[in-house]
Chains A and B, each alone.
Chain A
Amino acid sequence: MRSRRVRGAVGWLAAIALVLAACGDDDEEPQGEADPDAEAEPSGSVRFLIAENFWADWSPYASTAQSQRRLERQIYDFLVDFPSGDPAQPEPMLATDWRQVDDLTWEFDLREGVQFHDGSPLTAEDVEASIELGSGFSGESAYSLTWIPADVEVVDELTVRISTEQPFAPMLVELGQIPILSADFIAEPQDMPNGTGPFRLVDDQVEVKAMEANTDYWRDPPRIQELVWEFIGDPSTRMSALLDGSAQAIDRVPPEQLPALEDQEGVELVSATGIESVNLWVRPGRLPLWDENINFRRAVNWSIDRQPLVDSLVLGNSLAATSYLPTNTLFSAPQEPGYTFDPEMAAQELEAAGEPDGGPEFELWVAEGFLPRGPEVVQAIVAQMEEVGLRPQVVTSDVAGMIDDIFSDTGTGAMYHLSWSSNGDPNAAAQVYSEQFAWYFGDEDLQALIDQGMTTLDPEAREQVYADLQQHIWEQAWHVPLYNSDFTIAHTSDLAGVVVQPDFRTDFYTAELTE
């Protein structure tokens, strides 16, 4: 009897064990080993409040507004990329490989299997249409200012050759700036963009651009499902939204808010020194003494102490300018003499200029709500200028009014507190001083150096050209370099992986919400 009970009990226990085993999770992975092929689905929504309005529609290469170019980086791809921010370190993107065939020609192998958002495949014809238009070869392009127009030959479906009439040293950097559009879109632009990028635009409002993850992206899809960029001009409102949780990231944190946000729990700051020259730009023809007299120009440069502007007003990662090529630009180097506030030197230069009493009055324009602390910076500059005897008259405007005065035949401004941002290559930074632009004083030597820098392929020789260029323009003092901007994004601590670079690139492809 007893043995039958024991056998029965064992049998029940075995049966229970079998049942329990059958109820176990079929999908349970061995401990410590995740499925390496599993891709996390995009999830969550990120709202990024941008400081500059959206100016443009989606007409191909019709605007170089910074907000538009930053937005396009989420929607479009480029032949090459510079994820490190170093213009000397290109990496494959839509092009997997490239080679320089001769001084005038590059050949690129295109990535196979890339699709536009509408499902059509990327081909060499798309690259041909994009580069030819973007560089100004096949039509007018706002991007062409820093290009030599490029002729593109389709070698086969996934190979192109790009040729220019002269050697073009910044070819790769500039290819990292021209988004690749479909040839069909270029022929017949639509209301909504069609790119190959990690996000596709799904709702286009005047001040709100809503994007969703491109799950067919040629790389892993982004980790955020919804990305919304919204323009809010008032920095206090942007900050309130971040602290309130209504936004996960905000753009261009003003200097006066940096200390408060640095101490704020749940908020992180990402900063860089922007590749942006903030100068007092002088309009040729408005102040004849400036145009004609190098001593007067140097006197003005000796009347401003840049370091306190950076330390006390602009703050953040801004740096006093030591060259006309901003810091973080290839071949940028500090120039001598290092201009600072030196009344004795200023007086000497004014004496040499024949203007010991300071010279004529001139209008110095500044825009409110444009560059951080613009009016305060200009007030500090004016106080210093007056101390050495100069006679600036401050005119405060909005940015549109200032732009209008610059180009108006009846404009009255001589100097303008403005900035020029570039992509890290010295050609893009130097072109603004060329004959293409409104700031050119007819300095043919300078133009020759700019042209030479653009067409010199050998890196060492090119570096020497830009050393000469920086020295030349520093000596001539055509404008008044002040500082390179701080560029700070603030985001909530649960948002990780936002890429911020000195060229104001703000990428959300690698971003994810961690909570």
Chain B
Amino acid sequence: MIVRLAFRLAQMLFVILAVVTIAFFVLRIAAGDPARLVNPPGTPEEIITQTRRRLGTDQPLLGQYVTFLGNLIRGDLGTTFRGSLPVRDAVLAALPNTLALAGLAVLAAAGIALVLGALAAWRPNGSLDRTVLGYSALAQATPAFWLGLVLVMFFSLELRWFPAIDMTGPRSFVLPVVTLAVTLSPILVRTVRQSFIETQGEDFFRAARARGLGEVRLFTVHALKMASLPVITLIGLQLGFLLAGAVVVEAIFNWPGIGKLILDALGSRDFPMIQGGVLVAAIAFVVLNFVVDLLYRLLDPRVRVGAS
């Protein structure tokens, strides 16, 4: 068990290191010269050189990487190209905001999926099933940025129910969470629906039905636990999609999270901020995947027994 955990930890560290290394080199090779961006075209070369010195981009590439790794081990993520401010402070302040947004979106999407999936599976191919599948198709085809803007226009600007931007309190979570949850829900709905349908064919379910249990109890007690297992797996698989969706949602709602941080830094070629954001996102991704794996083992005794 301990050996397995240690191996898993080593795996996670390797993935994180690989991600930040790739990000480091790709940025410096393909993303151009940040010193040129800060100064107007035609700025004297002496100023450009001075800027490169200030940004640290005048050093050889490998030297920059070694410096970066050395600082990383000490927990120093460097200073931004924009304003020479500590990257670590910025990313650590942003991370909880993204986790809160994503976490609530996952819960909301899971809730939507379980309810709609169960309703759809109750009478497969019936009108309710077709309605739910229609919702799933529509939600899948709807871009997050469009949905977010429409929600803002209607609920913020027209009805004044929720704020249009910023993270200002509980009400400010509603529109961003709904936007993210709706875009995440289609695949969960279809999976839950399928899972419920399959469960209805299981012996234990048919036996329970034969004993005269009501439909509601059948679905909520006997089928739910089985049907919800794939949701957990899917959430783990959709984490990357979730983080990507969070970038779009954070931009629309000016949400102070990692996604917006990275997006703005990309446009400015702020290498240290991009690296810091990618590092934190990578850590969050591998840790959450690990948690999902653990959760799955906890919920499904067959996995625990099989493993042992």
A237 touches B251 (CB 8 A): yes
Which residue of chain B is the closest to A140 with respect to CB atoms?
B46
Question: Which of B41, B54, B80, B149 is A418 in contact with, Cβ under 8 Å?
Answer: B41
Is B47 an interface residue, CB under 8 A from the partner?
A: yes
Residues of A contacting B253 with CB < 8 Å? 237
A404 touches B85 (CB 8 A): no
Is A234 an interface residue, CB under 8 A from the partner?
A: yes
B264 touches A145 (CB 8 A): no
Residues of A contacting B39 with CB < 8 Å? 63-65, 142
Report the separation of the CA atoms of residues A432 and B252 in the bound assembly, to the nearest whole angstrom.
36
Is A406 an interface residue, CB under 8 A from the partner?
A: yes
Chain B nearest Cβ from A500, distance in angstroms: 22
Report the separation of the CA atoms of residues A206 and B80 in the bound assembly, to the nearest whole angstrom.
8
Which residue of chain A is the closest to B50 with respect to CB atoms?
A140
Residues of B contacting A62 with CB < 8 Å? 47, 50-51, 54
Report the separation of the CA atoms of residues A393 and B253 in the bound assembly, to the nearest whole angstrom.
36
Is A57 an interface residue, CB under 8 A from the partner?
A: yes
Is B193 an interface residue, CB under 8 A from the partner?
A: no
Considering only CB atoms and an 8 Å cut-off, how many residues of chain B contact the other chain? 44
B164 touches A241 (CB 8 A): yes
Chain B nearest Cβ from A209, distance in angstroms: 9
Report the separation of the CA atoms of residues A420 and B43 in the bound assembly, to the nearest whole angstrom.
13
Q: 0/1 per residue, B60-86, Cβ < 8 Å to A?
A: 000000000000000000001111110
Question: Which of A145, A204, A246, A408 is B83 in contact with, Cβ under 8 Å?
Answer: A204
Which residue of chain B is the closest to A241 with respect to CB atoms?
B165
Tell me whether A240 and B267 are in contact in the complex, defined as CB-CB below 8 angstroms, given that A62-B51, A206-B82 are known contacts: no
B164 touches A246 (CB 8 A): yes
Which residue of chain B is the closest to A66 with respect to CB atoms?
B40
Residues of B contacting A436 with CB < 8 Å? 42, 44
A204 touches B268 (CB 8 A): no
Is B269 an interface residue, CB under 8 A from the partner?
A: yes
Is B107 an interface residue, CB under 8 A from the partner?
A: no
Which stretch, B30-38, B116-124, B129-137, B292-300, touches the partner chain A? Answer: B30-38
Question: Which of A56, A191, A236 is B38 in contact with, Cβ under 8 Å?
Answer: A56
Chain A nearest Cβ from B262, distance in angstroms: 12
Total of A-B residue pairs, C-beta within 8 Å: 132
Residues of B contacting A398 with CB < 8 Å? 267
B254 touches A237 (CB 8 A): yes
Is B163 an interface residue, CB under 8 A from the partner?
A: yes
Report the separation of the CA atoms of residues A407 and B40 in the bound assembly, to the nearest whole angstrom.
12
Is B156 an interface residue, CB under 8 A from the partner?
A: yes
Residues of B contacting A63 with CB < 8 Å? 38-39, 51
Report the separation of the CA atoms of residues A244 and B6 in the bound assembly, to the nearest whole angstrom.
51
Interface footprint category on A: 35 or more
Residues of A contacting B84 with CB < 8 Å? 57, 191
- 8 A Cβ contacts from B163-178 to A: 163-166
Report the separation of the CA atoms of residues A54 and B268 in the bound assembly, to the nearest whole angstrom.
9
B269 touches A400 (CB 8 A): yes
Which residue of chain A is the closest to B90 with respect to CB atoms?
A206
Q: 0/1 per residue, B238-267, Cβ < 8 Å to A?
A: 000000000000011110000000011001
Is B18 an interface residue, CB under 8 A from the partner?
A: no
B264 touches A240 (CB 8 A): no
Report the separation of the CA atoms of residues A210 and B157 in the bound assembly, to the nearest whole angstrom.
26
Question: Which of A56, A141, A244, A418 is B157 in contact with, Cβ under 8 Å?
Answer: A244
Report the separation of the CA atoms of residues A315 and B116 in the bound assembly, to the nearest whole angstrom.
48
Tell me whether A240 and B156 are in contact in the complex, defined as CB-CB below 8 angstroms, given that A62-B54, A407-B41 are known contacts: yes
Report the separation of the CA atoms of residues A62 and B53 in the bound assembly, to the nearest whole angstrom.
12
- 8 A Cβ contacts from A391-410 to B: 398-401, 403-404, 406-408
Report the separation of the CA atoms of residues A88 and B221 in the bound assembly, to the nearest whole angstrom.
83
B42 touches A59 (CB 8 A): no
Report the separation of the CA atoms of residues A55 and B46 in the bound assembly, to the nearest whole angstrom.
18
Is A152 an interface residue, CB under 8 A from the partner?
A: no
Report the separation of the CA atoms of residues A208 and B266 in the bound assembly, to the nearest whole angstrom.
17
A236 touches B252 (CB 8 A): yes
A145 touches B82 (CB 8 A): no
B82 touches A56 (CB 8 A): yes
Is A215 an interface residue, CB under 8 A from the partner?
A: no
Most buried by A among B31, B44, B165: B165
B36 touches A207 (CB 8 A): no
A234 touches B54 (CB 8 A): no
A234 touches B164 (CB 8 A): no
B264 touches A142 (CB 8 A): no
Tell me whether A59 and B157 are in contact in the complex, defined as CB-CB below 8 angstroms, given that A237-B165, A241-B164 are known contacts: no
Is A231 an interface residue, CB under 8 A from the partner?
A: yes
- 8 A Cβ contacts from A325-381 to B: 369
Is B281 an interface residue, CB under 8 A from the partner?
A: no
Which residue of chain B is the closest to A243 with respect to CB atoms?
B157
Is B152 an interface residue, CB under 8 A from the partner?
A: yes
Question: Which of A53, A399, A432 is B264 in contact with, Cβ under 8 Å?
Answer: A53
B269 touches A439 (CB 8 A): no
Residues of B contacting A241 with CB < 8 Å? 164-166, 254
Question: Which of B32, B38, B263 is A401 in contact with, Cβ under 8 Å?
Answer: B32
B164 touches A438 (CB 8 A): no
B252 touches A237 (CB 8 A): yes
Residues of A contacting B163 with CB < 8 Å? 244, 246
Report the separation of the CA atoms of residues A59 and B84 in the bound assembly, to the nearest whole angstrom.
10
Chain A nearest Cβ from B260, distance in angstroms: 9
- 8 A Cβ contacts from A221-238 to B: 231-234, 236-237
Report the separation of the CA atoms of residues A234 and B251 in the bound assembly, to the nearest whole angstrom.
7
A231 touches B264 (CB 8 A): yes
Question: Which of B32, B83, B166 is A404 in contact with, Cβ under 8 Å?
Answer: B32
Chain B nearest Cβ from A59, distance in angstroms: 7
A437 touches B85 (CB 8 A): no
Question: Which of B34, B82, B152, B251 is A54 in contact with, Cβ under 8 Å?
Answer: B82
A240 touches B37 (CB 8 A): no
Q: List 18 A-B contacts (CB under 8 A).
A: A55-B37, A55-B82, A55-B268, A56-B82, A57-B83, A63-B38, A64-B40, A140-B46, A140-B50, A142-B47, A240-B153, A241-B165, A241-B254, A246-B165, A246-B166, A400-B267, A403-B32, A404-B31
What are the 3 A-B residue pairs with the smallest beta carbon separation, nearest first? A437-B42, A404-B32, A244-B164
- Extra A-B contacts (13), CB below 8 Å, given A57-B85, A140-B44, A233-B251: A53-B82, A55-B82, A57-B83, A62-B54, A63-B51, A64-B40, A141-B47, A237-B251, A244-B156, A244-B163, A246-B165, A403-B36, A404-B31
